[in-house]
């Protein structure tokens, strides 16, 4: 990859068929939905349920996305595993498929020092032949990539940015401020409610889970910002922020996004992990679908 990835990357869900298996056919449909609005693809992430996919399935998802995109929009594949060696192995395989970059969460379960995170990411960036994004999501991993650590890692020629999904503006701004003078290092916003503010502060892109449900709504945040219409960009952000608040009040984000997308009429199957919606939950999600299923005309 020779240029900065800009705009919206959808953290695309991984569709499962009736037997619970990954469905390339259904995934291709979702990739095409996103490309209608010029959204790039971020596959095998949190919303893609990487934590319940085996290696072969992660490779199948990546291959399907790369082939369906066919160079029209960027594809970033998440490759983070608990061990450095396993992450490198997966990274080399997905790199060979033609992804534009890879993203790597901090190892989880075992607490790590910042020096150990630097070793982990440096080893991956040395070995994987495509650009690497750091992926900070401490609420899920238990390990925070501190802004000073990101700045140190920005010195590596193959580490090109950080995706921050800590959830707070303070965390996102910390990365922006710490790395503002680092050449060729970008900050990508993860939380959907911070996309517009992230663009204002200098983020090159946002990684959106809610774009699975509202690909047009999220794309409008970027397109109006890019065109200099900050008022309309903020209006699109307000729509997505309200959607996020109402939907995530029901259940854990990836499961809620997937269920809402199904109720919208898109066949992406059920989540694999252990969550079951009550009738009350389903009614609440259906209300969200009815309210936010059509993006505002901005």
Catalytic residues: 135, 163
* Alpha-carbon separation of residue 111 from 87, 106, 166, 224 (angstroms): 17, 10, 16, 41
Three-state secondary-structure class, residue 85: helix
23-54 in b/e form (b: 16+ CB < 10 A) is: bbebbbebbebbbebebbbbbbbbbbbbeebe
HSE of 97 in the Cβ direction (CA atoms, 13 Å)?
Answer: 24
Q: How many residues are given for the chain?
A: 298
The tokens of 282 are what?
A: 């389903």
- The Cα 232–Cα 241 span in angstroms is 14
The separation between CA 182 and the C-alpha centre of its own chain, rounded to angstroms, equals 23
- Beta strands 101-105; 40-43: pairing state: unpaired
Question: Phi, psi (5° rounding) for residue 121?
Answer: -70, -35
DSSP per-residue letters across 144-191: ---HHHHHHHTTSTTEEEEEE-SS-HHHHHHHHHHTTT-TT-EEEE-S
Strand, coil or helix: 77:
strand
Nearest to 192, CA basis, from 73, 80, 292, 109: 292
């Amino acid at each position: 990859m020779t240029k900065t990835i800009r705009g919206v990357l959808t953290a695309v869900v991984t569709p499962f068929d009736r037997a619970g298996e990954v469905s390339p056919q259904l995934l291709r449909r979702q990739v095409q939905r996103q490309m209608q609005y010029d959204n790039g693809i971020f596959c095998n992430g949190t919303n893609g349920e990487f934590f319940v996919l085996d290696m072969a399935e992660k490779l199948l998802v990546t291959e399907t996305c790369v082939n369906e995109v066919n160079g029209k929009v960027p594809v970033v594949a998440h490759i983070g595993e608990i061990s450095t060696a396993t992450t490198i192995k997966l990274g080399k395989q997905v790199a060979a498929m033609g992804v534009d970059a890879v993203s790597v969460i901090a190892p989880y379960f075992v607490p790590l020092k910042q020096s150990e995170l630097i070793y982990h990411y440096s080893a991956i960036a040395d070995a994987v032949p495509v650009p690497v994004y750091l992926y900070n999501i401490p609420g899920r991993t238990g390990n925070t990539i501190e802004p000073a650590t990101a700045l140190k890692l920005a010195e590596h020629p193959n580490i090109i940015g950080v995706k921050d999904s800590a959830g707070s503006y303070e965390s996102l701004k910390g990365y922006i401020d710490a790395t503002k003078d680092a050449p060729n290092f970008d900050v990508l916003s993860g939380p959907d409610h911070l996309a517009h503010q992230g663009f204002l502060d200098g983020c090159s892109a946002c990684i959106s889970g809610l774009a699975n449900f509202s690909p047009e709504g999220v794309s409008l945040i970027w397109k109006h910002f890019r065109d200099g219409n900050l008022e309309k960009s903020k209006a699109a952000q307000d729509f997505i922020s309200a959607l996020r608040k109402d939907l995530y009040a029901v259940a854990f984000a990836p499961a809620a996004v997937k269920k809402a997308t199904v109720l919208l009429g898109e066949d992406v199957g059920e989540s694999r992990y252990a969550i079951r919606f009550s009738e009350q939950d389903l009614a609440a999600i259906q209300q969200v679908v009815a309210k936010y299923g059509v993006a505002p005309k901005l």
